[in-house]
């Protein structure tokens, strides 16, 4: 756990300086990281108190490792800025272009839906209707989030809220298996959820 935290911290600092391997040759992603770092400033990752931007950075790394290009990786970096900061879709369209803005909008929850389960269901439908590029950003996000929840499950029993998140991840996997069957990120998500469920059972 400590080694993972140290690696996350080193990766974040390297990316902030523009030295991380995955931002080389991806100018939009590099600009997106600076934007996300600024907008998420002061926010912390729930699982361990690390800077929140560590999460979108991990999502971007997953997408880059899967072979996606600048727009998709940049959307991975920015996927939470509309949902969790004061940034708006128009800001993203102006700075990063219509495709990045479209992808971020596709993976952003509708805050007008009050019921959490209904909001998550609407999000899954929204992603399914937005095409493969949106689906892989969504998948990479869920891979990262499942890893975080596994860390929690290894320490303590999951509470009701955490179990609702697990249910959403299961439903997300089912949706992705229909939408992009056999995709490597779907396979990775399935493996992460298996580890998460095993950890949850042990507690």
- Residue-wise pLDDT tens digits, 48-87: 888 898 899 999 999 999 999 999 999 999 999 999 999 9
Look at residue 88 in the predicted model and tell me its pLDDT.
96
Give the integer Cα–Cα distance in Å for 102 and 41. 24
Phi-psi region of 182 (alpha: psi -120 to 50; beta: other; left: phi over 0): left
- Evaluate the CA torsion angle 113, 115, 116, 119 in order and state its sign: negative
Residue 2: pLDDT over 70: no
Report the chain's terminal Cα–Cα distance, integer Å: 18
Residue 5: pLDDT over 50: no
Higher pLDDT, 36 or 8: 36
Look at residue 25 in the predicted model and tell me its pLDDT.
83
Angle between helices 70-78 and 98-106 (to 10 degrees): 50
Which residue, 55, 79, 58, is CA-closest to 135? 79
pLDDT tens readout for residues 143-198: 999 999 999 999 888 889 899 999 999 999 999 999 999 999 999 999 999 999 99
Produce one character per residue of 112-144: b if its CB has 16 or more CB atoms within 10 Å, e if not.
eeeeeeeebeebbebbbebeebbbbbbbbbbbb
pLDDT tens readout for residues 77-126: 999 999 999 999 999 999 999 999 999 999 999 999 999 999 999 999 99
pLDDT tens readout for residues 12-44: 565 555 555 667 789 999 899 999 999 999 999
Q: Active-site positions? A: 83-84
Say whether 37 sits in a helix, a strand or coil. helix
The H or E element containing residue 103 is helix 98-106
Q: Are 88 and 68 in contact (CB under 8 A)?
A: no
Which residue, 163, 105, 103, is CA-closest to 137? 103
Ranges for all domains in the chain classified under CATH 1.10.3210.10: 1-108
Chain centroid to CA 105: 13
Residue 6: pLDDT over 60: no
Enter the CATH code of domain 1-108: 1.10.3210.10
Q: Are 54 and 33 in contact (CB under 8 A)?
A: no
Q: Hey, how many other C-beta atoms are within 10 angstroms of the C-beta on 92?
A: 24
pLDDT tens readout for residues 124-139: 999 999 999 999 999 9
Look at residue 1 in the predicted model and tell me its pLDDT.
41
Residue 3: pLDDT over 50: no
Helices (H), the chain: 2-16, 27-39, 54-65, 70-78, 81-84, 89-96, 98-106, 116-130, 132-155, 160-179, 184-202
């Amino acid at each position: 756990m400590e080694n993972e935290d140290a690696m996350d911290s080193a990766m974040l600092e390297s990316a902030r300086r523009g030295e991380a391997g995955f931002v080389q040759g991806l100018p939009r992603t590099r600009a997106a990281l600076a934007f996300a770092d600024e907008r998420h400033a002061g926010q912390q990752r729930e699982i361990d108190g690390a800077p929140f931007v560590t999460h979108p950075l991990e999502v971007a790394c997953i997408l880059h490792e899967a072979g996606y290009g600048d727009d998709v990786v940049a959307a991975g970096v920015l996927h939470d800025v509309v949902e969790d900061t004061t940034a708006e879709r128009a800001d993203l369209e102006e700075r990063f272009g219509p495709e990045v803005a479209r992808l971020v909008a596709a993976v952003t929850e509708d805050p007008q839906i009050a019921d959490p389960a209904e909001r998550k269901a609407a999000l899954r439908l929204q992603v399914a209707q937005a095409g493969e590029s949106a689906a892989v950003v969504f998948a990479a996000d869920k891979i990262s989030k499942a890893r975080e929840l596994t860390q929690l499950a290894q320490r303590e029993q999951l509470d009701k809220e955490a179990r609702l998140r697990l249910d959403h991840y299961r439903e997300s996997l089912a949706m992705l298996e229909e939408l992009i069957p056999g995709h490597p990120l779907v396979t990775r998500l399935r493996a992460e959820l298996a580890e998460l469920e095993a950890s949850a059972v042990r507690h």
